[in-house]
């Protein structure tokens, strides 16, 4: 397409006819569906993002098709919102100002595995990446519970980590993501490879400061993981067990998730094993560590009540991972749609005491769900995805304030601006990256406050 065909009056609706070789979705209902993610977990976001939709969806399958769409949007100054498969939680891929949704799920080729490193196009599903790495005896270092459908680019653009973060920390820990290939949003889009810390300036920025085409990530040796559950009558003992297991150097694990009573009763496959007074610790363990963990469970007064080998997990097509992280919230919402949640980061070394204190203060109204992990710096810790019986926005804010008053960081899942979710801790270099990769501010406009305030200053 020649840029002379594009006029200032060109709108997103004109693009499908101008770029017929690209797959476009123009049906209003489908475009509206592809404008949404799982922001509905939050009654606040559900309200604030109601009716926000793109104008059309482009689903390019090659770098050349992406280039054509991006160039056309840059020339006509049409907003562009990148989407993987839309499993984000904060309206991350919901456009605030219409325009084109750039759905990269069809740009999904696996590139290679070399030694302990893998590379793929951004739209690859994480489950597919893992399947491709397995013949090389490698696996991804972290699997969000949405691994079946979520994309690698989406995890990088909007995610945190998942099963495996107990060993390797979040994606943001240095050494996890090695490099990204990025396209600029300009009439003549440029392609740049960013490595290490530079690459991380595009992480968790909701696709506001560059279009990631490919990612290169460090892998870990693959393990035939077993999946197990321990049951406890005592909250404190379950918590202390989970903390002890996280730190136990000889017991190899990929996931340790703590669910306070009555959350286990919301998890269909665990339901018959639990009554509403019992607490669960769900674990993904190396097979040689199962016996040792069973002993540890007993020493904390628990009962080892569920144990599946990797073969059993595979043949049942049911994995405990899909009951952890924000899947816990999803299962709870199926039982009671009045639940919502918060996300919290505890303080390493104080986390067990902080959890106990908050359980004492808010137990019953806030149901404790913790994911044990290592921080970006390597400290043992847990982060919370606590379930809340929602009553009002004011009470939700009070609960988050109570958490903060205990020294716990809240990563607020009820806001859609990048900085608000991170308590305003945004590295100014993120904005510099946007100047370089999106000088016209067309990517997901409205989501990066520091960019908007920079425009006001100019
Ligand atoms: C039930 C449930 C469970 C979840 N569990 C976890 C979990 O365990 N761990 C976790 O970290 N998250 C979790 N999430 C959040 C989400 O699933 C992950 O962040 C996921 O990896 C997002 O991938 P996606 O392809 O769906 O991305 P999308 O939702 O489509 O996009 C996410 C963000 O990334 C941007 N983006 C997408 N692709 C690119 C690209 N190529 N270049 C630049 N920006 C891009 C988008 O613009 C958007 O802002 C969960 C969500 C739900 C609903």
Edge-to-edge strand list for the sheet holding 344-345? 303-308, 226-232, 279-285, 253-259, 369-374, 380-384, 344-345, 409-410
Tokens of 443: 């990517």
Best mutation site among 42, 70, 88 for ligand 1, i.e. most ligand atoms within 8 A of its Cβ? 88
Nearest CA to ligand 1 atom 44: 207
CATH (one of 3.30.1330.10, 3.40.50.300, 3.30.43.10, 3.90.25.10) for 3-105: 3.30.43.10
- Mean per-residue pLDDT for 2-30? 87
Nearest partner of 19 among 79, 81, 51, 62, judged by Cα:
62
CA angle 207, 213, 215 (to 5 degrees): 95
Q: How remote is the CA of residue 278 from the centroid of ligand 1, in Å? A: 32
- Mean per-residue pLDDT for 13-17? 97
Tokens of 266: 């919301």
Omega prior to 262 cis, within 30 of 0:
yes
Tokens of 307: 């144990």
For residue 9, what pLDDT is reported? 80
**Domain 110-222, CATH 3.30.465.10 — does that match?**
yes
Q: How remote is the CA of residue 161 from the centroid of ligand 1, in Å? A: 10
Q: Provide the phi-psi class of 98: left if phi over 0, else alpha when psi is between -120 and 50, else beta.
A: left
Ligand 1 binding pocket (C-beta < 6 A) is 37-38, 81-89, 92-93, 104, 122, 144-146, 150-151, 153-155, 157-162, 206-207, 211-212, 325-327, 330, 444
The number of the ligand 1 atom at minimal distance from the alpha carbon of 38 is: 53
**Strand (E) positions, 99-221?**
100-103, 110-114, 117-121, 138-140, 177-183, 191-195, 211-221
Nearest CA to ligand 1 atom 7: 144
Nearest CA to ligand 1 atom 9: 144
For residue 453, what pLDDT is reported? 77
Q: Are 278 and 260 in contact (CB under 8 A)?
A: no
For residue 90, what pLDDT is reported? 96
Position 186 pLDDT exceeds 70: yes
pLDDT in tens, 380-400: 999 999 999 999 999 999 999
For residue 8, what pLDDT is reported? 67
What is the C-alpha R_g of the chain?
22
Nearest partner of 28 among 6, 4, 57, 64, judged by Cα:
57
CA–CA distance, 226 with 224 (Å, rounded to integer): 7
* Neighbour count for residue 163 (Cβ, 10 Å): 28
What stretches of 170-289 show up as alpha helix (H) in DSSP?
196-200, 235-247
The number of the ligand 1 atom at minimal distance from the alpha carbon of 171 is: 11
Best mutation site among 39, 159, 266 for ligand 1, i.e. most ligand atoms within 8 A of its Cβ? 159
Position 423 pLDDT exceeds 90: no
Reduced to 3 states, what is the DSSP secondary structure of residue 278? coil
Q: For the ranges 7-16, 121-130, 187-196, 237-246, which has the lowest average pLDDT?
A: 7-16
What residues does CATH 3.30.465.10 cover in the chain? 110-222
Q: Are 55 and 99 in contact (CB under 8 A)?
A: yes
Place of tokens 């269909």: 268
Nearest CA to ligand 1 atom 18: 159
The number of the ligand 1 atom at minimal distance from the alpha carbon of 447 is: 49
Cβ-in-10-Å burial (0-12, 13-18, 19+) of 416 comes to: buried
Q: How remote is the CA of residue 407 from the centroid of ligand 1, in Å? A: 28
State the pTM of this model. Answer: 0.97
What residues does CATH 3.40.462.40 cover in the chain? 226-410
CA–CA distance, 429 with 445 (Å, rounded to integer): 18
Rounded to 5 degrees, what are φ and ψ at 48? -70, -25
With bands split at pLDDT 50, 70 and 90, how would you rate the model's confidence at 458?
Answer: very low
Place of tokens 């050349």: 64
Side-chain-facing half-sphere of 283: CA atoms under 13 Å: 32
Nearest CA to ligand 1 atom 37: 154
Q: How remote is the CA of residue 318 from the centroid of ligand 1, in Å? A: 21
pLDDT in tens, 294-342: 999 999 999 999 999 999 999 999 999 999 999 999 999 999 999 999 9
Q: 453 or 211: which carries more pLDDT confidence?
A: 211
DSSP assignment letter at 236:
H
pLDDT in tens, 56-112: 999 999 999 999 999 999 999 999 999 999 999 999 999 999 999 999 999 999 999
Q: Are 245 and 162 in contact (CB under 8 A)?
A: no
**Strand (E) positions, 150-198?**
177-183, 191-195
Q: How remote is the CA of residue 417 from the centroid of ligand 1, in Å? A: 15
Q: How remote is the CA of residue 104 from the centroid of ligand 1, in Å? A: 12
Q: How remote is the CA of residue 149 from the centroid of ligand 1, in Å? A: 10
CA–CA distance, 76 with 254 (Å, rounded to integer): 47
Nearest partner of 241 among 208, 274, 279, judged by Cα:
279
Measured in whole angstroms, how far is the alpha carbon of residue 44 from the centre of its chain?
Answer: 19
Best mutation site among 83, 124, 213, 324 for ligand 1, i.e. most ligand atoms within 8 A of its Cβ? 83
65-79 residues labelled b (16+ CB within 10 A) or e (exposed): bbbbbbbbbbbbebb
Q: Are 165 and 142 in contact (CB under 8 A)?
A: yes
Class level of CATH domain 226-410:
alpha beta
Q: How remote is the CA of residue 75 from the centroid of ligand 1, in Å? A: 28
> CA-CA distances (angstroms) from residue 251 to 48, 119, 292, 371?
45, 30, 7, 17
- Mean per-residue pLDDT for 176-189? 98
> CA-CA distances (angstroms) from residue 80 to 72, 77, 388?
10, 9, 34
């Amino acid at each position: 397409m020649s840029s002379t065909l594009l006029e200032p009056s060109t709108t997103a609706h004109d693009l499908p006819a101008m770029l017929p070789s690209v797959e476009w979705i123009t049906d209003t209902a489908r475009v509206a569906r592809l404008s949404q993610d799982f922001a509905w977990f939050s009654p606040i976001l559900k309200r604030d993002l109601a009716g926000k939709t793109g104008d059309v969806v482009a689903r390019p399958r090659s770098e050349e098709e992406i280039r054509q769409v991006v160039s056309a949007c840059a020339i006509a100054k049409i907003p562009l919102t990148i989407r993987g498969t839309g499993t984000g939680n904060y309206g991350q891929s919901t456009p605030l100002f219409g325009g084109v949704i750039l759905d990269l799920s069809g740009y999904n080729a696996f590139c290679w595995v070399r030694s302990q490193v893998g590379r793929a196009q951004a739209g690859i599903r994480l489950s597919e990446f893992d399947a491709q790495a397995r013949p090389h005896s490698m696996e991804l270092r972290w699997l969000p519970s949405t691994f079946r459908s979520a994309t690698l680019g989406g995890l990088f653009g909007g995610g945190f980590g998942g099963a495996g973060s107990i060993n390797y920390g979040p994606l943001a820990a240095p050494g996890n993501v090695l490099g990204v290939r990025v396209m600029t949003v300009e009439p003549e889009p440029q392609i740049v490879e960013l490595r290490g810390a530079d690459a991380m300036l595009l992480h968790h920025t909701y696709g506001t400061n560059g279009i990631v085409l490919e990612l290169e990530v460090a892998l870990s040796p693959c393990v035939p993981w077993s999946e197990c559950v321990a049951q406890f009558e005592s909250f404190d003992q379950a918590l202390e067990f989970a903390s002890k297991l996280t730190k136990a150097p000889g017991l190899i694990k990929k996931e340790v998730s703590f669910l306070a009573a009555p959350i286990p009763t919301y998890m269909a496959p665990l339901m018959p094993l639990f009554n509403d007074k019992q607490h669960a610790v769900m674990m993904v363990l190396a097979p040689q560590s199962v016996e040792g963990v069973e002993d540890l469970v007993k020493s904390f007064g628990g009962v080892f009540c569920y144990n599946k080998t990797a073969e059993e997990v595979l043949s049942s097509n049911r994995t405990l991972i899909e009951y952890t992280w924000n899947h816990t919230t999803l299962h709870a919402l199926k039982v009671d749609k009045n639940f919502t949640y918060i996300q919290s980061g505890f303080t390493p070394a104080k986390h067990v005491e902080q959890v106990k204190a908050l359980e004492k203060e808010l137990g019953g109204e806030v149901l404790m769900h913790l994911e044990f992990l290592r921080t970006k710096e390597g400290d043992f810790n847990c982060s919370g995805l606590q379930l809340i019986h929602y009553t009002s926005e004011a009470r939700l804010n009070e609960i988050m304030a109570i958490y903060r008053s205990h020294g716990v960081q809240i990563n607020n899942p009820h806001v859609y601006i990048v900085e608000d979710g991170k308590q305003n801790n945004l590295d100014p270099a993120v904005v510099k990256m946007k100047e370089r990769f999106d000088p016209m501010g067309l990517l997901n406009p409205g989501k990066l406050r520091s960019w908007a305030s920079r425009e006001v200053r100019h």
